[in-house]
Structure 1
Amino acid sequence: MMHKPYSGRPLLRILFWILIVYIFIHMTFPFLWAINSSLKSEGQLQMTPGTMVPRDPTTMKVSLYVRNYAAVFRNKTFMRGILNSFVVAGSVTLLSLLFGSFAAFAMGKLRYRGKTPSMYIILSMTMFPQVSVLTGLYAVIRVLGIPATLSMILTYMLMTLPFTIWVLTSFFRGLPTSLLQAAQIDGATPFQSFYQILLPLTAPALVTTGLLAFIQAWNEYLFALTFTSIQPSARTVPVAIALFTGEVSKQEPFGEIMAAAVIVTVPLLVLVMIFQRKIIAGLVQGAVKY
């Protein structure tokens, strides 16, 4: 006797795709609205109700206002902020991968006492709210006289290193131990086995952790605002955008702020689209076995 197919399966599939569409719209709408707002003049931004595409307030024809982007690129504070962000985020990424890969190799492949407690201590470091350590770190930095750029690099590493070590350790544990043993038989030192054999195999994990560390350092605002309060020239791009003043006195340059937000977001989207497969591979392979 043949069984009838489950009648509720098409309904579940429809509900599933409705959920996917809702999530897609929910995640992309803020960015699309930022693009829409960045292409509007002040008069267009004040139109009620708002329009999904920039339109002339009088004729209601599509009218793109690109002067916001020109004003942003003429803003020296914003351009200096981009440079500062690249320096800070790039340094944090490189240092996190350097120290994180060494620590992950030791915890994933070497034997020593206290390895398991040390892993849980590292994991617990990610549970502290950032604001809870802000005051103490700022006081230490003021006493030691550390420059703002260096202080941001050192502070961001406290946030990116635990995640980097945790992911890379899981990835190193998943690599065959026979590779390390074969290298030792051939006379390779532990350091040579690390950077010549095992490290190249961790490329997906390195890309994943490196990109996520870069994004976190690039978008961080609270510490950057605090540490650069006494050194405005070291402000990163999130702080520079938040302190936009506009070209006219007492003006709230909403269009320019949206244009700046789009400019600093596009490179991150491009990086994620380029490395999305390696990101997924790194997260999945590193989490399969611990």
Structure 2
Amino acid sequence: MTSPSAARPRRRGPSPLPRGSLRFVAVAAVVVYCLAPFYWMVVSALRRPQDQFDNAPLPAPLSVQNFTAVFKPDVGFERSLLNSLAVAGTTTLLTLVIGTFTAYALARLRFRGKNLALGIIVTTSMFPGISLIVPLLKLFTRIGWINSYQAMVLPSLSFALPLAIWNLTVFFRQLPFELELAAMVDGCTRGQAFRKIIIPLAAPGVFTTAIITFIAAWNEFIIALSMVNKKEMQTATVAISKFTGAHGFDQPFGTQMAAGVVVTVPLVVVVLVFQRRIIAGLTAGGVK
């Protein structure tokens, strides 16, 4: 005979959250954490100058005075944006051209000291940029490169190339060598096989490297600050740091936040445009 306590159904505790919900909460927390600084920058940029120290989550009333102040003719911020575009675009293009050929040689060719060469290339990226400013500044002063684009492009290139070569070398090694052999059997030369077969298949890695390089060159600050002292040659990051307030000595938080929003918009556009091509290349597969 069963006891009343045994026959009584046990109460179950609250059911745990589904595993999918926990993942969603974790992803949402990371997204909020990453976007919170950018959100506050946009909110600060849309406040009136007299409301910059307000802690309200939304600006009230909305104002575009800070954006108007950024693009005043005497500020010259448009020229700074063009300088950043020229430096970042040139650095990205040179990095892709040099890095692609170098990575292909390291991934496909067999020669003595190949791993040592790749190790030395990667090791050069470990030097802090500030430690190279003084010798580069001395060198560029002697050859007359101060206040020039090449004084900003070449140092940025030296920092971007190691990462690009490493990423592309790993990507080229994952591509089957039989595809090149099949192309050469069909009559292609080694160069034609590289141009018509390998480059299209390597598009995802190339575009990913381009995004990383462009963002790093666009956000670069210490080299541009050290190599350029003319206002018309300054990049956008340097121009933002030299903004002055209405009276010349107060901190222009509003205009700096507005300029930060303007500088960030091209990066968002570049990522969105190139991400579409990266996904298309990834889904195409190795039988493209």
* Map of 1:65 onto structure 2: 63
Q: Which has the larger radius of gyration?
A: 2
Q: Which residue of 2 aligns with 1:191?
A: 191
The percentage of aligned residue pairs carrying the same residue is 40
SS at match of 2:58: coil
Shift of 1:282: 8.4
2:4 is matched with none
Aligned length: 269
SS in structure 2 opposite 1:127?
A: coil
Matched, 1:170 2:198: no
Mean CA deviation greater in 72-81 or 146-155: 72-81
> Which residue of 1 is the match for residue 260 of structure 2?
261
What does residue 243 of structure 2 align with? Answer: 244
What is the DSSP-based 3-state SS (H/G/I as helix, E as strand, rest coil) of the residue aligned with 1:223?
A: helix
CA distance in 1, matches of 2:266, 2:50: 29
The SS at the match of 2:268 is helix
* Equivalent position SS for 1:80: helix
1:126-171 CA-partner distances (Å, limit 9, x unpaired): 2111112121111111122124311111010111111111111111
The one-letter amino acid of 1:123's match is V
Residue 108 of structure 1 is matched in structure 2 by: 107
Q: Distance in 2 between matches of 1:164 and 1:96?
A: 7
Name the amino acid aligned to 2:195. Y
Q: 1:253 to 1:226 in 2, by over 3 A?
A: same
- Distance change (3 Å), C-alpha of 1:157 and 1:78: same
1:8 to 1:279, Cα distance in 2 relative to 1, 3 A: farther
Partner residue of 1:27?
Answer: 34
Backbone CA RMSD of aligned residues:
2.5
* Structure 1: distance between partners of 2:96 and 2:76: 30
Q: CA deviation at 1:22?
A: 2.4
Structure 2 residue aligned with 1:58: none
- Indicate conservation of the 8 Å contact 2:203/2:278, yes or no: no
> Residue 199 of structure 1 aligns to a residue in which SS?
helix
Checking the alignment, whether the CA contact within 8 Å between 1:126 and 1:162 is kept in structure 2 is yes
Matched residues in 1 for 2:102 and 2:281: separation? 17
2:181 matches 1:181: yes
Q: Give the TM-score normalised by structure 1.
A: 0.84
Q: Give the alignment of 1:31-46 within 5 angstroms.
A: 31-46=38-53
Deviation sequence 1:1-44 (CA, Å, 0-9, x none): xxxxxx99637665544433322221111101011000112221
1:210 — aligned with what?
210
Gaps of 5+ in 1: 1-6, 56-62, 284-290
Task: Note if contact 2:49-2:65 (Cα within 8 Å) is conserved in structure 1.
Answer: no
Structure 1 residues 177 and 35: alpha-carbon distance in aligned structure 2, compared to 1, 3 A threshold: same
